[in-house]
A and B are shown apart, each in its own frame.
Chain A
Amino acid sequence: MAAPDNKKQEMQDALMKRLRAKRKAKRQQDEGKAALTLNSMMDMMTIILVFLLKSYGEETFVILPNTDVPISVAETIPDDMTVITVNKEGIFMIRERILDLEEGRVSGNFKKGGESGLIIEPLEAKLRQEVEKQKSIAMASGKTFEGDLTIIADQQTNYRLLVEVMQTAIGTEFKRFRFAVIKGGMQESGRYAAAPDYVIPN
């Protein structure tokens, strides 16, 4: 009964030999190839992506380029509402340009009553459309139109222009105004992020 045992042993040896040869061949094939472990990087990317998607969704409004919004100590969180941007170039609603400014002023051609007028006609027309839209939305959702308007203004915007925008809005049923500002301390209050260094007066 020794012959079958020897044969079985030989077969096992041959199998082991083939396996070893196969493993050796695989090792030789893998030599020179570095496998990059991407797991931790994927984890990091996923966290960043989720955080960015959340921040992106929370933005109530967009600050357009060329708009140096002043800093303030105000702490009231903005709601979702109609937004007008007034910057160095013009007056915008969301991203749509309503009219251009001439040296920080609205030309008399665009105002009721000429240069001394307070009502900006193109803005008034656009705000009337917006009021109709907001009223429809409010009615459909069982709410009332509150007439809230947020103004995002450049730090250099003159008071006259701000009042013209607000007076135009008052004529179209907006009655509560909010100025958007960047939250900061009392030292930076009224200045803008890229302003020259502040010097404490003597």
Chain B
Amino acid sequence: MAKLEEAEDLNLTPIMNMVLVLIPLMLLNVVFMEITVIEVTMPQRSAGAAMNNGEPPKRLQLFISQQGFTIVEGVSSMPAKEGCPSGGPTICTIKETAEVETDRHNWLELYNTLLEIKQRPDWTDHDQIEIVADSSVNFGVLVKAMDIARYQLVPRAEQSTATKGKMMKSWPELNDALAPLVDATDADGNSAKMALGMFPVVVLGLPTVSN
């Protein structure tokens, strides 16, 4: 007589219990935002600017205050732009009461001014910008200033074809802009498409005390 056997089912209950506990635990801890980094340098306090064959060193400096931006080329400050009080910063704020400090500054004017400097023949090969801020300026403003200064930008549709940055005519155009991708060599010597820099090397200076 044939012996009738019944197959035993695998008992998955302990595994299911473990998985059901592990998944919520890990979902709570996992960060779905992509983290990147901005590289900066800060000189030693004792280090002064080196002289260039007796000439003052070629420096581009950006001073950030609660009143706006002052741009210094070499040793001379750029005059105040149209609409800003004379004797004040080069680019004044546009919305002093904005809740988020980053929204108070005129980033459009800053971008266009820096790009205009970059496109002059004597500044084309210059990669470094020194950023100095008032003690009270917050980190968000510093990050935005670095983003504006480090990359040349073009309208989104021209990202793959453009070879240099373009002046931005409006805020929506600036907000939607991307850095053009150009052929470059990465740190390992491989050729790759990289974002076109404006002043990609950022040096931070000691804070100023005016508020």
Contact = CB atoms under 8 A, between A and B. Distances in A.
A154 B36 contact: no
A42 B12 contact: yes
Interface of B: 1, 12, 15-16, 19-20, 22-23, 26-27, 29-31, 33-42, 44-45, 64, 94-95, 98-100, 102-103, 106, 108, 133-148, 150-151, 153, 171-172, 174-179, 195, 204, 206-207
Given A180-B35, A180-B36, A189-B143, 4 more contacts: A46-B19, A159-B142, A177-B42, A185-B176
Contacts of A166: 42, 204
A15 B1 contact: yes
B100 A196 contact: yes
A146 B137 CA distance: 30
A99 B191 CA distance: 45
Contacts of A72: 36, 38, 143-144, 146-147
A182 B143 CA distance: 11
Nearest to A61: B35
Contacts of A186: 147, 153, 174-178
Contacts of A163: 42, 204, 206-207
B192 to A, nearest CB: 12
A78 B146 CA distance: 17
A72 B144 CA distance: 7
A156 B122 CA distance: 37
Contact of A75 (B36, B99, B103): B36
A123 to B, nearest CB: 15
A176 interface: yes
A181 B44 contact: no
A70 B143 contact: yes
Contact of B39 (A53, A76, A167): A76
Contacts of B150: 74
Contacts of A46: 19
Contact of B136 (A78, A158, A167, A191): A158
Interface in A68-95: 69-78
Given A49-B19, A167-B45, A176-B41, A160 B135 contact: yes
Contacts of A78: 35-37
Nearest to A162: B139
A131 interface: no
A180 B175 CA distance: 21
B102 A73 contact: no
